[in-house]
Chains A and B, each alone.
Chain A
């Protein structure tokens, strides 16, 4: 039997944990995506040292378990005089882990743009960076939105691991409440629902962005587009 009193008594505490998860994850994404872009461009760089460093970073963080990375950040950084609170360590670890994956997604997106696009930009006098910024990256955005969303959802779920280094985020809070109440079912239903709601919200927002991206590009082609809509949104879809 579900004990409904648990929900009523503990939701403020659980929500507090959720609030911290939200803050940590948003910071990690805000750091991770620029880091990913930076690493992706670094990996493609003509300068061997730059591309070696970027590649090493990506491979290191892609090929080791996230929980080990968290432990390394948490226990090793202080040896080098870097004493950060568990929350900041968590943000850094998530950003590094996410950045490595974001980098590979962005790199694949860049590689998917036909070679002629870069050639025509270079041939008209653009520098490498101008071609990237004006011609290649704007086309890459559209391609990478779905996989970046996917990776972001993974990142949010991975943030649960930060409970192992005493970050009082959603999972940690759940564990604590469970310890007090011995009602794991009620507690983890709340925790799961909140993770789900967060991820579903982000997925929905990204779907909207993706759609509006496509719609803007088709503005001038209204006739064709209406036909497409009627085809794909009919009763039998």
Chain B
């Protein structure tokens, strides 16, 4: 039996008195799209951030393609650090607040990491950047500064920046939550194309519509635990636990 593409094994994380993640385990197969839903503060963003070690867990293991990411025992050695940076270069991450780099123009935003991390020459990186920006629909914005972009454009730029690194896995942390309602669509369109291309993705989201149409699996978390996992239809139409029922009820009320 081949090991799963990404294995999240018994992750625990505390912030002071708060138990942010309690023994969370999850397997992800290649090409799978998993949406993580749950009330705010339930640990879903923390889970995403432990995968690329942006928030190192207290215990547990993250295994990508058979290799262990990071180490929970003390400070990382120089070798572990180098390994971690190699992993991160292949794991794209998209943030709620976009975090595009305001001192670089649109094109440079996409070129920078390719040159610094990927050690590409700038001509090669530029060609790739242009291709990626075309893909997310920003082809007429190459010379623009991020400050002059709309939220949706910023987020698409952030996605292009990640894609230029040829990631094998994308982590998206509420990619549309900071957007005005009329701008959410353009970002979801880009994500939909990624799904079609077979990108493996973990998405923390409140867009249940998107989740039900495009996720292979929905994971419902509450209070630092995974409560239910299943196909979108099962989760959204036939919730087994009261907590999930309660959560879905609240969402459908507030959506009016």
Q: Which of B4-12, B92-100, B222-230, B233-241 contacts A (4 or more CB under 8 A)?
A: B92-100
Majority SS at the chain B contact face: mixed
CA distance A138 to B85 in the complex (A): 22
Q: Once the chains are docked, how many angstroms separate the CA of A124 from the CA of B93? A: 7
Q: In the complex, which residues of chain B have a beta carbon less than 8 angstroms from the beta carbon of A127?
A: 81, 85
Interface assignment of A123: CB less than 8 Å from any CB of chain B: yes
- Which residue of chain B lies nearest to A213 when distances are taken between CB atoms in the complex? B103
Q: Is the CB of A221 within 8 A of B148?
A: yes
B117 within 8 A of A: yes
Residue B105 is within 8 A (CB to CB) of chain A in the complex: yes
**Cα separation A125 to B92 with both chains bound (whole Å):** 9
Q: Main secondary structure on chain A at its contact with chain B? A: helix
Interface size class of B (residues with CB under 8 A): 20 to 34
B101 touches A117 (CB 8 A): yes
Which of chain B's residues have a CB closer than 8 A to the CB of A224? 148
Report the minimal beta-carbon distance from B116 to chain A, rounded to whole angstroms.
5
Q: Is the C-beta of B144 less than 8 angstroms from some C-beta in chain A? A: yes
A141-162 residues at the B interface, CB under 8 angstroms:
142
**Quick check: B112 and A134 within 8 Å, CB to CB?**
yes
Say yes or no: B116 contacts A134, CB within 8 Å: yes
> Is the beta-carbon distance between A130 and B116 smaller than 8 angstroms?
yes
Q: Give Cα A128 to B100, complex, Å.
A: 18
Cα separation A44 to B154 with both chains bound (whole Å): 30
Q: Which of chain B's residues have a CB closer than 8 A to the CB of A138? A: 103
Q: Considering only CB atoms, which chain B residue lies closest to A131 in the complex? A: B116
Would B95 and A125 count as touching, CB distance under 8 A? no
What count of chain A residues pass the 8 Å CB interface test? 24
Contact call B148/A220, Cβ cutoff below 8 A: yes
Q: How far is the CA of A121 from the CA of B89 in the complex (A)?
A: 10
**Cβ of A217: which chain B residues have Cβ within 8 Å of it?**
103, 145, 147
| Bound CA–CA A217/B143 (angstroms) | 10
Complex CA distance for A168 and B89, rounded to whole angstroms = 57
Q: Knowing A116-B95, A117-B101, A134-B112 touch, does A124 contact B161 (C-beta < 8 A)?
A: yes
Expressed in whole angstroms, the Cα–Cα distance for A178 and B160 within the complex equals 69
B117 touching A130, Cβ below 8 Å: yes
Of B86, B101, B145, B148, which is within 8 A of A125 by CB?
A: B86
Contacts of A31 in B (CB 8 A): none
Q: How far is the CA of A219 from the CA of B93 in the complex (A)?
A: 29
- The closest CB in chain B to the CB of A139 belongs to B103
Given contacts A125-B86, A130-B116, A130-B117, are A120 and B145 in contact (CB under 8 A)? no
For residue B71, CB closer than 8 A to chain A, the reply is no
Residue among B88, B97, B100 making CB contact with A123, cutoff 8 Å: B88
Q: Are B145 and A218 in contact (CB under 8 A)?
A: yes
CA distance A124 to B86 in the complex (A): 9
Asked if A59 is at the interface (CB within 8 A of a chain B CB), the reply is: no
Chain A residue at minimal CB-CB distance from B162? A124
Considering the complex, give the chain B residue whose CB is closest to the CB of A138: B103
Is B200 engaged at the interface, CB distance under 8 Å to the other chain?
Answer: no
Q: Give B contacts to A, CB under 8 Å.
A: 52, 54, 81, 85-93, 95, 97, 99-103, 105, 112-113, 116-117, 143-145, 147-148, 158, 161-162, 165
Per CB-CB distance, the 7 closest pairs between chain A and chain B, nearest first, are A125-B89, A120-B99, A116-B99, A123-B93, A125-B117, A125-B88, A124-B113
